[in-house]
Every structure is written in structure tokens, then in C-alpha cells.
Amino acid sequence: MAVIIPLVNGTSYNTVTAHSAESYKNTVNFYTKFLGLKTQSSKDNESILTNEDICIKIVLEESNDGFKLDEARFNELFKLTARSDWRSKVPQSLVFNVENINIIKDVLIELDAPRQFHPSELSPMFLYTLDPLGNVVGVTETKNAVSTKPMKPTSTTSTMKVHSSLPSKVTSSTDLAGQIKTTTNYPSLPKAKGHEKAIAVMTSGGDAPGMNSNVRSIVRSAIFKGCQAYVVMEGYEGLVRGGPEYIKQVTWEDVRGWSTEGGTNIGTARCMAFKKREGRLLGAQHLIEAGVDALIVCGGDGSLTGADLFRSEWPSLIKELLETKRISEQQYTRYQHLNICGTVGSIDNDMSTTDATIGAYSALDRICKAIDYVEATAYSHSRAFVVEVMGRNCGWLALLAGIATSADYIFIPEKPASSEEWQDHMCNIVAKHRSKGKRTTIVIVAEGAISADLTPITPKDVHKVLVDKLGLDTRITILGHVQRGGTAVAYDRVLATLQGVEAVNAVLDSTPETPSPLIAINENKIVRKPLMDSVALTKSVADAIQAKDFDKAMSLRDTEFVEHLNNFMAINSADHNEPKLAADKRLKIAIINVGAPAGGVNSAVYSMATYCMSQGHKPYGIYNGFTGLSRHESVRSLNWKDLLGWQSRGGSELGTNRHTPEEADIGMVAYYFQKYQFDGLIIVGGFEAFVSLSQLERARDSYSAFRIPMVLIPATLSNNVPGTEYSLGSDTALNALMEYCDIVKQSASSSRGRAFIVETQGGNSGYLATLAALACGAAASYVPEEGISLEQLSQDIETLSGAFENAKGRDRFGKIILKSKNASKALTTDKLAEVITEEASGRFDAKSALPGHIQQGGLPSPIDRTRGTRFAIKAVNFIENNQDLIAEARSDDGDFDITDKQVSATASVLGVKGTNVVFTSIRHLYDVETDIAKRMPKIIHWQETRTIADHLVGRKRV
């Protein structure tokens, strides 16, 4: 039997005994990964694993009987995982303190190890697992575990949870913070524990909005971790030229304010010299001379390919430098390895394995605004406009812009047709749209658009066809480099910042054997992918296009790209073609808006209605919420012509209010549902919509009219709907708030020693304030989840005072502080500004700034438009797929079991969780994951982002 010596007061180690060579090996591997331990010593029959706090000795004493007992105990406990508490079945267990129990949870998921949570998986105080010998081992964040010391996350802890081909299991904020305590000086940085690494960053290839945010994040994250930070000027050209002019060490203040600037401040240039070995030899020499041993490259696939080639050649390069005496023996020994990491900066969004590249959504934003402007003049004259956008080998910009602006036709390189086919097909669609009363025609052409024989399709070609075949008054608009210019949108700033933090984590985690990582994003999660696999997949798309294998090119694109293309074709056909579904499969589907207006709501309604039409369903709009339905029977079938323009409009064209069905009269709501024989319901809205869906689901027992599939698409700038990490409207609001803060910060910079306190909306959710603080580089943010403590306020005033004192007249030194309206009942925004000014004692002053409902209004962002479309179509599919499941329960005489989980799940919330889009039962969310009183989910998914936002501005947390 395995022997455990538990940790008790004064004990710093424990011993585990295995009884077979295989179980011994598995146990060593388990504890190494589970607790992030390093091997201090290892023998054939004994291993000592340790970090600075704990020590575990694993001993091998071969015994067949002992092995069988271990195996039997493991199997017995494993069978009880879902039924009984392991602690009641064993005489003892081993428990360790940890900083973040969720990190350990991710490790166990990766190991596929059994696990139990207490008191619940949602908010665990204790997490238990079984080691390979059947011993019960646990971790806790509480202070009263058996262990006498907390286990500190180490670099090993980070490495153990990352596999190069899998998403990173390390939460960047936890890894960034670790056990490092900030100082009281400005900027509030950790005390360095000696030299770790010198990390350089460079931008290469075409510039992209957000690159400056990425560089700022990398520089400050490196400094925060006690490393030296360098920038390489002018891309690979700077590596080849070398010297302090091109490879510069930078300080914390050198990158201040960079998030608000477009382009790349460290420059980028084409470098033919680096493509040759002699150029790479010079680059290696110059990096060694500067003392750099890790390089992070922000660029496209060509730039990242060059970076990985540079790394693979590094051993031979430094050997040649030593032999030619261009570096010393000491330098050769010191710089044996070069760690490389890539972040993708490209407006084309042409890198495979990531949903978005830095700069892509900023370019899309420029395109959508330009098309919105063009469409206004097109409507005035009933004109057609042909708009050319960038995208040499990737049609992502053209495709997403087509969805976001309801374009009539798009040309992308991945799906060409023959010369005659595209002309006839385009004219057919445009003619149908015109015949149904549409006054405008928008055709979007990617610059890499081709026909099936690889002949380029130019805007002039499209213009000629529209004029000659349809007789339309047609104009050409080529957007050109306007798409690259300007500052980054909020999404790109946040993406670039979080990827910069993860890139620093990645190079610090990397070993000589680790494949070069690429920092990517899948849905809502920052992940690491193998760099060269991603580049190879990207290049294979272009190769497939050149080989005229367009089916392969489409198959190599991410599934989301294919999904977007199918969505565009479906909503573009609306009711102009024969419906796809047979008559007996066609449904009556209602859609309603509940809650406050939010960007993307109209996009969801438009897409739902047009997709329903293409399928053969009949879409109904319920106007002015549940009160409109119960008081005025405000139900109207939706037709295509009346919906024209909704995709790009803000607010809510259906009308909305905050009344739930019970407040509006749920009996009348049920009566009208029964009258119109709805087969499904889509609700678009915020927390009131969430409560409404719960009320309808619970009323199914009394009203058979509600025994239909129902789904909620979260739409609120507060982003406080349980079951999702993203709500429609939050991106639009974040952009509006960010632009407001940029302007206010400029005003603050014009007056020496001034800070602005900007009030944000969001109810009891600090999401908007937190993400805006990250995007704008706010000096501090106050949110309802934390409140405003006098100690933290006092420390922030001292930090700001130090910042202004050290400014010494430098430019762009305005400061902003973000405060959620509900962060404090006692301290209003005006009062907070007065308190800060008074306590600053003349060192600086503070003014209040209230953007108010600016955060709710305006045109929806391209992200909210396209995600509104994507979610709406998924919602319709959900209703289609759940018809059979609930069909029997819909009849009055049928037995209806309100406890049936399958039936209950036909009323769900559509949401983004990590790397997945999921449907979660409203009953589970309402009963388990929601704080109803606070109108908030119990788990704050963005909480860790606050740590990053604070660290990157040097804020001292109390």
C-alpha cells in the first residue's frame, strides 16, 4: 500500500511509495505537472520533487501485492467520483495551499484526471484528485489547509500547463502577477530579482493598427518581470544594421501613450538582406552584441517564417560567428539559444489557426464606415458602388464587410466562378434586389479577387458589367491605405495588449526544445499555437488557390470563415429564391428585444429574419417588448424590404423596454403566443431578457404556448448576462467610451497636472470600465465588484502625484481614471474628483467627465454587426434542431415534466465561453450561476484582465 506522510505543522515534505516501475514513473509525472515541481534528484528507485516551499519524495518498492492494492483503491475511488465524497472513504488526504485553484483545475483537465469540488464546481474552496496510486490529494485557496506554506506559482507551473499544440492553460494575469509585489514608487514595479532575460520586440511587414499596443504591452510586461526590454527599429533591417541606433534598450516611460497611436512607432521595412544567410549572420551578431536572448516578432506570415528560420539556424550562425572571431567564447556560451515568439499583425486576417489578427478589425471598421457613407449618396441617386478592399490571398475583409453592410455581392479569392458565371450570378442577384425596391447596390471586391481561371477581377470589370448589362449609374471607390491608417479600435488594442503579455510569458516559459509559439485567439481566449504549423497552413491556402483547388482552399480556412460565407449567402438570398426546407419543416419564429438598446441588436433581427426567409420559415417581429405584445398585440410579420438598412443601424428598430412577461401580464403573452402559433422565440437583450426567458421557461407548466424552443442572444453594454463572456453591444460601447477617453486624455495633456475622472455605464458590472482602462491606459479604474476603499484611493492619489512629479514637462502626460457609476454610492464622480483634488494638495487637480448615453448610441461596430448575424443564425438553427425534442410536450393533454433536463435545455442562452460558442440551459444559469440581487453572474470572467490593466500602468494595489 502506498504510504503518505501528510504535511502537518512544522513538516516540509511528504513521501509517496509506489509498487511498480510503471506506477512510479506515472506518479513522478503526475506530481511534476500537478504541483509544478522540479526534480531535485532522481535515481532508479527514488525521486525528490520540490519547489521553494514543498518537497515530495517518491519511492519505488516493487511489490505485486502492493501494486494490486493501489490499483484496486484507485478504481474503487474512481467509480465513486460522481456519487460519494472521497474524503469519507479514506483515512487521510494531502492538501496544499495554492494561489489560484482554477489553474490547478485546468491542469487536471489537461491530464484528464478525476476531480471533485467542494462545496461546488462553480465556486470551489477545495479541489481533490487521485494520484496514480489512488491517494486523495487536494488543493485550496483557503488559509487553513494542512500545508504550512502556500505553493507559489513558478515558471515551472506555467510551463507545465502549456502544450505547444494546445491552447494555453495559463491565465496571463495570474502568471504576470504571480507572487510579485509592486513597490510604492512610480511606476509601481516589482523589485527585480537579478537579470533574467533580455527580450526584444520588432514589428515587420505591413503596418497594422494595434502594433503599438502590442509593443507597449511586451515592453512593460518584460520590465515588470524583471527583464530588460529592447526594441528593434525598422524591422529586420534594424537587425541587419545593428548598433544602439537600431537595437535600443527602452524604459517604462518610453512607450507611454502608444496605445492611442496608429501604425508602428518602431518602424517596419522590407529587408532583402535578411533573406540571405549573411544578413541573418549579421542579425545574430548584433543581437548578441546588444545582449538580447529572446525575440518577439509582430508581423505577417512572411515575417514569422523568417523569425523561425532565424531560430532554427541560430546554432550554426553563432558557431560561425565564433569561428570567425566576431563573438567571444563567453558570448558563444551565454547565447546558445534564441527563443522566438510571434504575434500576428495583419489587416488581412490571413493567418490560419487564429480568429483575428492585430489590426484586422480596425481595417474592417474603416471599410464599414466608408461603405456606410457611400451608401448614403448611393441612396440619394439610386446608384451602384463598387468598393475595392485589401486582401491579396484572403477575402476576410470583403466577406465580413459584406455581412456588416448588407452588400449585394462580394468577390473573394477563395470562392471564384468562371468569367461568365460571376457576371450572370451577380446581375441576377442585383436585379432581384432592385426589383423588390432596393435603391442602392453595393459590390465589394477584394484586391485578390479572381475568376476560376485565375484571371484577376478588378473594380473596372465589375463596373462595366453593372453598366452594360443592368444600365446602373455606377461609381468605383478604392479605399487603399485608408484601411491601414488611424488608431486601433478597442478590440485590437485589447487583443494586442493581452497577446503581448502572453508572448512574454511564452518566451520565459520556452526551452531550447520548445517549438516557436504563435499567440492566437480562438473565440474569447488567448491561446498558444505552433508558429510554423500556423504559417504552413496559411501558405497552403495561397498554394491551393494558385493550383485552382478552391475547395481545398476553403477547407483550409478556419471553420468560422466558412460559417461566415454560408451566412452571407443565406441572408443575401432572403425570400428571392425557393426556400431550402420542405413545407412541413417550415416554422413560425418570433423575435423580441428586451432591455436597453445595444449595438448589434438590429443586425441580429435583420439576419434572423432574412435567414428564416431563405429557409422557408415565417419571421415575426414583436414590437416594443412584452408590454407592446400584451397591451397592443404588436406582432407583425417581417418582410425583406422593410428591413433594408437595419444591419448597420444603432438602437432597436423593433423597440424595446425593460418589462418582463410577468410585469407585462404573462397570461396575455401566452394568449398571443397561442394565437399566432409560434414555433420558436428568439429574445435579444440584456439581464431583463435573461429574467424574461427564465419566467417563460418556468411558466411552461401552466401555459403550453411556451413549450417551444426559446433562445436568448445576450445584448447589453454591461456584458453581465450569465452564460456568456461576450454580449452584443459591449464592443460598440467600448469603442465609444475609448474614443471619448482618448479625446479627454488629450485635453488633460494640454493642462499641466490634470487628471479626468470618466464615469462609465454598466450597472453592477465593471466590464466596460476594466476593458476601457486596458485599451486607453487609464491610471486606475474603480468597479462595483471592488468598490472604492479609502486605502486604495489614497494609494492611487500618491501614485498619480509621483507620476506628475516625474513627468518633468514631458508631452502627452494627461491622466484618466475610469469609474463605474455604481462603484460607490457615497462617492459620485463629481465628488470623487473633488476629493482627489483636495487630497492632492496642489500637486495636480482632477475634473469629472460624463459620457453618459454616448456609450449606448451610435452605429454598431463591425464586431457587433457580424456577431449579431452569426448568433442569430445559430439561434434559428437551435430552434430547428429542438422541435422534435419538445413536440410531445407542446400538447395540452401530454405529460409535461418540468424537471426533465432535456426539455428544460430547449430554453437556453447562446454565449461565448472560452474557445467555444455554447448553449446553456436558462434554468441551470438562473439557479446556479446567477446573483439575482446584483444582476450579475457569480463568476466574473474578466476579473483577471484587471490585474493586467493595473500592472501595465504601474498601479500599486492595496
Instruction: Check the annotation: does 447 bind a ligand.
Output: yes
Instruction: Check the annotation: does 564 bind a ligand.
Output: no
Q: In what order do the strands lie in the sheet with 150-151?
A: 115-118, 126-130, 136-140, 94-98, 150-151
Instruction: Check the annotation: does 716 bind a ligand.
Output: yes
Determine contact, residues 814/754, Cβ cutoff 8 Å.
yes
Count Cβ atoms below 10 Å from residue 696 Cβ, excluding itself. Answer: 26
Instruction: Check the annotation: does 118 bind a ligand.
Output: no
Determine contact, residues 27/16, Cβ cutoff 8 Å.
yes
Instruction: Check the annotation: does 214 bind a ligand.
Output: no
Instruction: Check the annotation: does 482 bind a ligand.
Output: yes
- Give residues with Cβ within 8 angstroms of 128, minimum separation 6: 86, 87, 93, 115, 116, 117, 118, 136, 137, 138
Instruction: Check the annotation: does 528 bind a ligand.
Output: no
Alpha-carbon gap, residue 220 to 228, rounded angstroms: 10
Instruction: Check the annotation: does 762 bind a ligand.
Output: yes
Instruction: Check the annotation: does 262 bind a ligand.
Output: no
Instruction: Check the annotation: does 155 bind a ligand.
Output: no
Q: What angle do CA 404, 406, 410 make, to 5 degrees?
A: 95
CA 86 to centroid of chain Cα atoms: 37
Is 811 known to be catalytic?
no
Query: CB-based burial of residue 613 (10 Å sphere; 0-12 exposed, 13-18 middle, 19+ buried)?
Result: buried
Three cell numbers, residue 105 = 483545475
Closest CA to 160 of 30, 341, 302: 30
3-state helix, strand, coil in the chain (%, to 5): 45, 20, 35
Beta strand ranges found along 466-554 (DSSP E) = 474-478, 517-522, 525-530
DSSP classification of residue 856: T
Instruction: Check the annotation: does 270 bind a ligand.
Output: yes
Instruction: Check the annotation: does 847 bind a ligand.
Output: yes
Instruction: Check the annotation: does 301 bind a ligand.
Output: yes
Q: How far apart, in Å, are the Cα atoms of 699 and each of 142, 635, 692, 693?
A: 41, 21, 11, 10
Instruction: Check the annotation: does 534 bind a ligand.
Output: no
Closest CA to 56 of 91, 20, 12, 97: 12
Instruction: Check the annotation: does 391 bind a ligand.
Output: yes
Count Cβ atoms below 10 Å from residue 380 Cβ, excluding itself. Answer: 10
Hunting for cell 518584460 — which residue is that? 222
Instruction: Check the annotation: does 352 bind a ligand.
Output: no
Alpha-carbon gap, residue 242 to 202, rounded angstroms: 13
Instruction: Check the annotation: does 348 bind a ligand.
Output: yes
CA 77 to centroid of chain Cα atoms: 38
Instruction: Check the annotation: does 386 bind a ligand.
Output: no
Instruction: Check the annotation: does 922 bind a ligand.
Output: no
Instruction: Check the annotation: does 300 bind a ligand.
Output: yes
Alpha-carbon gap, residue 298 to 304, rounded angstroms: 8
Alpha-carbon gap, residue 929 to 649, rounded angstroms: 33
Instruction: Check the annotation: does 855 bind a ligand.
Output: yes
Instruction: Check the annotation: does 228 bind a ligand.
Output: no
Instruction: Check the annotation: does 116 bind a ligand.
Output: no
Instruction: Check the annotation: does 383 bind a ligand.
Output: yes
Alpha-carbon gap, residue 616 to 303, rounded angstroms: 48
Instruction: Check the annotation: does 19 bind a ligand.
Output: no
Q: 46 in helix, strand or coil?
A: strand
Alpha-carbon gap, residue 300 to 521, rounded angstroms: 15
**Bridge-partner residues for 521, per DSSP?**
526
DSSP classification of residue 219: H
Determine contact, residues 138/130, Cβ cutoff 8 Å.
no
Instruction: Check the annotation: does 761 bind a ligand.
Output: yes
Closest CA to 598 of 864, 801, 409: 864
Determine contact, residues 30/137, Cβ cutoff 8 Å.
no
Instruction: Check the annotation: does 263 bind a ligand.
Output: no
Q: Angle, nearest 10°, between helix axes 101-111 and 21-35?
A: 150
Instruction: Check the annotation: does 390 bind a ligand.
Output: yes
Instruction: Check the annotation: does 776 bind a ligand.
Output: no
Closest CA to 389 of 408, 371, 374: 371
Instruction: Check the annotation: does 392 bind a ligand.
Output: yes
Q: What angle do CA 155, 161, 166 make, to 5 degrees?
A: 130
CA 50 to centroid of chain Cα atoms: 35
Instruction: Check the annotation: does 366 bind a ligand.
Output: no
Instruction: Check the annotation: does 557 bind a ligand.
Output: no
| Cis status, amide bond into 456, omega within 30 of 0 | no
Active-site option among 175, 348, 461, 864:
348
Backbone angles phi, psi at 98, to 5 degrees: -135, 160
Closest CA to 303 of 203, 382, 399, 376: 203
Instruction: Check the annotation: does 854 bind a ligand.
Output: yes
Instruction: Check the annotation: does 614 bind a ligand.
Output: no
Instruction: Check the annotation: does 754 bind a ligand.
Output: yes
Q: Which residues does the annotation place in the binding site for beta-D-fructose 2,6-bisphosphate? A: 658, 716-720, 754, 761-763, 847, 853-856, 935
In the annotated binding site for Mg(2+), the residues are 301
**Residues annotated as catalytic (active site), given as ranges:** 348
Binding-site residues from annotation for ATP? 206, 270-271, 300-303
Annotated binding site: 206, 270-271, 300-303, 346-348, 383, 390-392, 447, 475, 481-484, 658, 716-720, 754, 761-763, 847, 853-856, 935
Binding residues for substrate: 346-348, 383, 390-392, 447, 475, 481-484
